[in-house]
Structure 1
């Protein structure tokens, strides 16, 4: 393959390069005799090599696609087809005139598509090279090397290729020395000692033009938040002096007076500090009522609330969202916080704030315009599905959203689910056709403040947009797995201390899961049943043509084995297998009561969906069962036969769980992104539990995990488990992915995934499935592969192919590349990127 690419590249890369032209195959910047590979500097070059030219394989795919196109397709078609009347007559008889015209048009369109999709060869241009030299000089000047020299050399060969080398000699840099303020407005001049302390222009540091721009922005923000409503960056300028200063930069920091323009004149005046005279909130502004008169006026805590109809909101609900206060000086911060809070309420369409100057007393009137959204919103989702348990299923999910339900900007959301389906293993085709069903409901109330019996403003002020969520949901399943019934309740608080940080405290999260059909365990987990049945046949418990009945004989066989009433003894592998099957069966069939408290911290530095150079850090900690355990001890509750406390006849779960997730993106330029993810999580049972509920366990594999294994199919540890759902209470996962552009919106990726799950500090005894010490890290599975992604702007459709690179379930010495082929590959289809 590499030989083919090399030959293809060498023979075809200059196909569209004319005899007197040269394809640029390499650009090099040599800075003081050393090659500079920094992306920021190399991006200054105007004529970049074709994409892929300097990659690992050196294969410019887009250039080759472009070269497949004919540069003069119209002339070729005219000469070879249209000019030959006999050929035209023959083809029009064969295809018809309309089809013939379509064929000619399709050939032209395909040729144009090759040109659009491909990439034209980068032909050496001396004028652009000279411009690059000038831009390099400007760049090095901007970071302190005022006397730099830049030259270039071009090496052209007989194969129509060229390599360009830019030589940079930086010479001696210049350093900041004095900073002299020249401020025209007395009020701003009086604040100079305060806002200059954190200056970015520090004496002794090397000159950097960007620091001047950042300083201009910093000072502007300071003054805009100090009451100077009309101040802008244009009023700040810097004048530097480097003449006879021995490579020192002396700077005049100039802030001019305000320029006031009227219809027929312009005048200059000192800047003044503006205060807020009035705050008016127009609560129901929209296009339809723009000419209506105000009919309802309310004054609440120095805020004037105006409505053209009856006021829909309690005044406090609106004024709590406003940080602009009567008598305060003007600040940009108060305006931005008010807009953010009003948007977070999700009650209004595009809220806006307007300031009007009162010339007679140097004050501002703040007018806030709100257009309420509709009170009621309906939704309906329909779905048709197929899975490993049903041939076909239909579901409907209706929803109702009620805004401002208690006139305090609260949102109530009510939704339900109703689903029916036909199971694959039904025995009666008539009566059981729609034997699968699931019904459920969910009620969620969102309150735009912390719903607590005490005041929390000093701890979590309102600029952090605090909110409370109260959620209650229930579901009931029939002929799905073990026929679960679930009931859950949640009380959580959410707040954002900054633009990048979000905190969530789930004060109470109660989940109750009841299994109604535990006798169907082996009907659901058929792999476990098959192993159990094979062992029973192998030891003569049943004949080779018999099968254990479910559940009676299967359960009886387990009891006989564990009570040593068969030929198996505890040292036998089959005995251990039966023990593990029973252990897993007991854990997955028991009812669960989880009463937990958790805290989530998320720091997301991504500035927009177009940002490809950022990091995301997430941490979660969860404690379950402590309150119920303490109450049980205080009230002297009795324990069951297993030594566990029970509530409503169910042993509640008690555990500690924590997760850490870190994602980092590196923008390599030219649509190349390197993405990395690391994850670690552990859940430790204690007190009233010796295992973790299935819903709180970790799993590995799948389209967003280790893509060389299907979901729930990897681990635990080095065990070669064939369970339908493999899970454990400790997980490590790492992923690295190189993403690059192919054609237009079609993108490619190369990835490596590593990780596994293990059992630790619980009741699992299988050594292969447990994490005992650092030597267990040898059981980390490694998958690698490639993927294609198509960007539809609003979502990304992803197709990944994963190969088992290191499989810990294989025998030691035979784990690397044992199944590294397309026949054993795992193909994943997903929406959006895996991380």
Structure 2
């Protein structure tokens, strides 16, 4: 088919699909194609008209059928499916899940839409607005046009708060400095509603538990000047006495084993425990009282405030041991203005067992499976401690490629114990709703790389986790210990060590211990923001105090061993910064920069292999296979034999990624991306020429580009990426850009350069 015939075919297909959508309409019905809003008048600026038009467009109902390149594929599928004979099967699924019923012109209520647009315009301060609605028919389709003349907007001249001497009026007046209502702003009913909510929120901080925004009235005086209004904040006359009174806390009663639907709050006196300011009703003695002292913010005689109210609820939920958390305040029967606080807590099942079967693949052509068995106890020692013990096993097989036959088998176990407090010789009180936690981890893993070697790894850590708020998180491991020991090193691998001595570092016994710290900041949960960020910084200080104390210096031959193994001494820092730019409701530009470096001294001359940096793969440089790039301009593939391809590692890492993401249709999203980066060594390595970091590092950056699809199933995102290199650092200088050599029609080029990635979730 030549280009001319192809063009005719596309045009005919478009016309046929367009016609077929109206052919199925009921007799006398028209297909509704949407509404147009036109802004009239000269009294309003272009900027005001544009902003108002955007807001009005979202209010018109109904919305027409969704279009793609001028077509209505969902409607076409709906019509194509016909009438299903039963409520299941392919035809029913296509019609009701994939397809979309026609939006008919008869469903459009012109007068209702007109009144909605008129009311919104007036509520935005355009009091003399005029709105006209008209429809247009073309064949079997109809559209609507709304002409809106907003006239001149009214501005705020002055804001007046109560001046009388009652306790409540004074409290309202004190909220004025942070008012949302500003002089010279346009009148806006929505802002006035938000102002009432703001005042109510401030009063809740001052003990007015029974107050609500409906007791506030904001009057509008439009007679003060031309197109200006005064706003007068008043308390309604019918405000009840309860709402005018600030309250303090009296009794605090906790029911930690409350069953919803049962009258479980009636209990015998022997079930009552008094602890500090709390009364705890726990007949089965499930929990130690002190956990509630740490979780609940209120103390007796405290003035009620919403911050402590919500803080207590958040902390109880954050304990992770309660399924439902319910809170109630009642006026106390004691003298004075007091509230009794009741907390009804429904526990989660104490113990649980979970079995997971996972499938995975990576860009090095390894595919595999993993089986995880997890047992957990949510209240191990009656203090809401979480004890988790897991066992896992899996295998990875390379289907094709240089490492075909060098399969990886692994199994192991891990135990974690988390206390909902800091087990430390010092006190730490967090003002956030997230309870500080102490975590202890013990783990073991056995990994067998077929035909090469086996590796046993023991690990342990003791540290603290705490959150300042929902955006800032800290993790401090006071100590983190890793011991790796090789076994069953084959003759093949030993022979490769003779050819490439750096491979010997992989199977050296390694002992790593010392503190680690990481800080994470993110505001990506704020979906309405145009710019959102994620940052994680981490530092690893291995063997520093021990090395300094013992005076270890490997360069002078003073190597210190622990249990016969030299311990590692290094500093490693890594930074991961991400920026998300919202371009539209269904599109964004995501970017990431990773910078990391490791420096050895004292008892070590090289970074341990498991602590070095790697690059490439499904979540890194997607145009290159995992751990195949660098270091520097070194070509690991060319330097190795055809038997297997060793992983490449480095002391320094620089990676940059940017990805344009947009919705294509339904649950399918697309992406275009560019990745760049490399790793380097700090010192010269005779076995790896070109691997050392130098001022020419930018000329040694690997660059790849590609496109992908993301299938967003809500419970998971299935990602497919197809990428290819456009710059190869292992080539000679001046020949590293290979964009001119891209040839998708060439089989050998595709086999060598085209990389397919299948993964779960976004790369960053």
2:256 to 269, 283, 286: 283
Structure 2 matches for 1:145-184, cutoff 5 A?
Answer: 145-148=126-129, 170-182=150-162
CA contact (8 A) 2:363 2:625 kept: no
Tell me the residue number matched to 2:706. Answer: 784
Tell me the residue number matched to 1:818. Answer: 742
Tell me the residue number matched to 1:800. Answer: 720
Tell me the residue number matched to 2:682. Answer: 761
Tell me the residue number matched to 1:739. Answer: 662
Q: Deviations over 1:202-250 (max 9, x none)?
A: 2233333332222222111111121111111211221212235222220
**Runs of 5+ unmatched residues, structure 1:** 75-103, 261-267, 426-432, 524-549, 559-580
Tell me the residue number matched to 2:503. Answer: 585
Query: What secondary structure, in the 3-state scheme, does the structure 2 residue paired with 1:712 have?
Result: coil
Query: What secondary structure, in the 3-state scheme, does the structure 2 residue paired with 1:13 have?
Result: helix
Query: What secondary structure, in the 3-state scheme, does the structure 2 residue paired with 1:684 have?
Result: strand
Tell me the residue number matched to 1:684. Answer: 598
Go from structure 1 to structure 2 and tell me whether the alpha carbon gap of 1:761 and 1:638 turns closer, same or farther (over 3 Å shift): closer
CA contact (8 A) 2:559 2:566 kept: no
TM-score of the aligned structures, taking structure 2 as reference length: 0.80
Q: CA deviation at 1:424?
A: 11
Between the aligned partners of 2:627 and 2:408, the Cα distance in structure 1 is: 23
Quick check: 1:598 aligned with 2:573?
A: no
Tell me the residue number matched to 1:197. Answer: 177
Tell me the residue number matched to 1:65. Answer: 77
Tell me the residue number matched to 2:427. Answer: 455
**Runs of 5+ unmatched residues, structure 2:** 638-644
Query: What secondary structure, in the 3-state scheme, does the structure 2 residue paired with 1:361 have?
Result: coil
| Greater mean deviation of Cα atoms: 441-450 or 648-657 | 648-657
CA contact (8 A) 1:667 1:674 kept: yes
CA contact (8 A) 2:33 2:64 kept: yes
| Greater mean deviation of Cα atoms: 680-689 or 232-241 | 680-689
Tell me the residue number matched to 2:435. Answer: 465
CA RMSD of aligned residues (A): 4.4
Between the aligned partners of 1:391 and 1:755, the Cα distance in structure 2 is: 23
CA contact (8 A) 2:210 2:242 kept: no
Quick check: 1:485 aligned with 2:456?
A: yes
Structure 2 matches for 1:670-681, cutoff 5 A?
Answer: 672-674=586-588, 676-681=590-595
Between the aligned partners of 1:665 and 1:229, the Cα distance in structure 2 is: 41
Go from structure 1 to structure 2 and tell me whether the alpha carbon gap of 1:387 and 1:354 turns closer, same or farther (over 3 Å shift): closer
Query: What secondary structure, in the 3-state scheme, does the structure 1 residue paired with 2:311 have?
Result: helix
Quick check: 1:226 aligned with 2:187?
A: no
Tell me the residue number matched to 2:537. Answer: 620
Query: What secondary structure, in the 3-state scheme, does the structure 2 residue paired with 1:320 have?
Result: helix
Tell me the residue number matched to 2:640. Answer: none
2:271 to 267, 271, 296: 296
Between the aligned partners of 1:488 and 1:168, the Cα distance in structure 2 is: 69
Go from structure 1 to structure 2 and tell me whether the alpha carbon gap of 1:129 and 1:257 turns closer, same or farther (over 3 Å shift): closer
Tell me the residue number matched to 2:91. Answer: 110
Structure 2 matches for 1:499-648, cutoff 5 A?
Answer: 499-518=470-489, 523=493, 551=495, 554-555=496-497, 558=499, 581-582=500-501, 584-605=502-523, 607=525, 615-625=532-542, 628-637=543-552, 639=554, 646-647=561-562, 648=564
Between the aligned partners of 1:690 and 1:210, the Cα distance in structure 2 is: 65
1:704 to 603, 616, 619: 619
Quick check: 1:212 aligned with 2:212?
A: no
Between the aligned partners of 2:671 and 2:70, the Cα distance in structure 1 is: 16
Query: What secondary structure, in the 3-state scheme, does the structure 1 residue paired with 2:199 have?
Result: helix
Q: Deviations over 1:174-217 (max 9, x none)?
A: 32222222488921112234322111112233333332222222
Go from structure 1 to structure 2 and tell me whether the alpha carbon gap of 1:321 and 1:732 turns closer, same or farther (over 3 Å shift): same
Q: CA deviation at 1:349?
A: 2.8
Quick check: 1:339 aligned with 2:313?
A: yes
Q: CA deviation at 1:385?
A: 9.2
Q: CA deviation at 1:327?
A: 0.8
Between the aligned partners of 1:690 and 1:201, the Cα distance in structure 2 is: 65
CA contact (8 A) 1:805 1:819 kept: no
Q: CA deviation at 1:505?
A: 2.2
Structure 2 matches for 1:244-255, cutoff 5 A?
Answer: 245-255=225-235
Go from structure 1 to structure 2 and tell me whether the alpha carbon gap of 1:387 and 1:718 turns closer, same or farther (over 3 Å shift): closer
Q: CA deviation at 1:107?
A: 12
Q: Deviations over 1:481-523 (max 9, x none)?
A: 5321222221221222223332222332222222334556x54
CA contact (8 A) 2:254 2:344 kept: yes
Q: CA deviation at 1:478?
A: 4.7
Structure 2 matches for 1:43-82, cutoff 5 A?
Answer: 43-46=58-61, 48=63, 50-53=65-68, 57-66=69-78, 68-69=80-81
Between the aligned partners of 2:696 and 2:114, the Cα distance in structure 1 is: 55
Tell me the residue number matched to 1:322. Answer: 296
Go from structure 1 to structure 2 and tell me whether the alpha carbon gap of 1:338 and 1:279 turns closer, same or farther (over 3 Å shift): same
In our comparison, the structure showing a higher alpha carbon Rg is 1
Quick check: 1:356 aligned with 2:330?
A: yes
The number of equivalent residue pairs is 720
Query: What secondary structure, in the 3-state scheme, does the structure 2 residue paired with 1:238 have?
Result: strand
Query: What secondary structure, in the 3-state scheme, does the structure 2 residue paired with 1:351 have?
Result: strand
Q: CA deviation at 1:121?
A: 5.6
